[in-house]
Amino acid sequence: MIRIISIVLFLVLFSIVSLPVYLVMNIIGHFNPYRKAQLSQSFVVGAFKIILKISGTTIHVTGLENVPEDTPVLYVGNHRSYYDIVTCYTLVKNNTGFISKKEMEKIPCISRWMRYLNCQFLDRENVREGLKTILSCIDLVKNGTSIFLFPEGTRNLGGEMLPFKEGGFKIALKTGCPIVPVAIYNTENIFETHLPRVKKQTVSIQFGAPIYVENLSPAEKKSLGTSVQAQIVDMLNEK
């Protein structure tokens, strides 16, 4: 229980420290929105690294060299835990926004930082609003921001992955950005499988070879989610 109490105390402190930082970020964003996102990401990544340290989490990462430099990408990963975001966000190479469930928008401090990071909130019950979210992501990619997508749509605590939803892959199809498959292993055993305790764990994050949509046939583009999921399954089976 010491770890979870320490994390809660840190989050309270982070919320307090965030108050004056909001003002600074808003001033920077008035002149340079992209710089605001970059600085916000550095601030949040620093906080995530502290949370991982408190949690006793060690990350074993492979394939990071597969992520293209200096170009936005669509990261696509399996979803096991809230720690997926905490771990993966410390590894992404450029400004990256996550697609998150709309319910996260109700959490004051977290949702503000998510907006600063260009994260997008997806209403899974409203098709029209969901389309607006995808269109916003397309605009972000066109302007140099990567997007991290969990196409299962919800956390899955191990076992077989849920089918990937195809809608989010329109981000790559409409922009031509590379798709980077991400295999996430063992994050659920940090917290979710034994609530409310946080346990020391080693997790594995593997970045696969990028997929370039312009090289795909029309048939392959129609089943893009299925093929990306199969690649992630193969990566997980190597663990």
Q: Where are the domains of the chain?
A: 2-237
Q: Percentage of the chain surpassing pLDDT 90?
A: 78
Amino acid at 228: V
Q: What is the pLDDT of residue 123?
A: 86
Would you say residue 154 has pLDDT above 90?
no
Of the candidates 44, 36, 175, the residue with the CA atom closest to the CA atom of residue 98: 44
- Phi and psi at 58, nearest 5°, equal -110, 135
Q: Percentage of the chain surpassing pLDDT 70?
A: 98
Provide the CATH number for the domain formed by 2-237 in this structure.
3.40.1130.10
**Helical residues (DSSP H) of the chain, grouped into ranges:** 2-31, 33-55, 83-89, 108-116, 127-142, 170-175, 218-222, 224-237
- How confident is residue 48, by pLDDT bands cut at 50, 70 and 90? very high
Helix 108-116 to helix 33-55 angle, to the nearest 10 degrees? Answer: 130
* pLDDT, tens digit (0-9, with 9 covering 90-100), for 67-108: 998 899 999 999 989 999 999 999 998 899 999 988 888 888
Long-range contacts of 25-34 (CB under 8 A, 24+ apart): 25/116, 29/116, 34/95, 34/143, 34/144, 34/145
CB atoms within 10 A of CB 197: 12
- How confident is residue 158, by pLDDT bands cut at 50, 70 and 90? low
Mean model confidence pLDDT for the chain: 93
Q: What is the mean pLDDT of residues 187-203?
A: 94
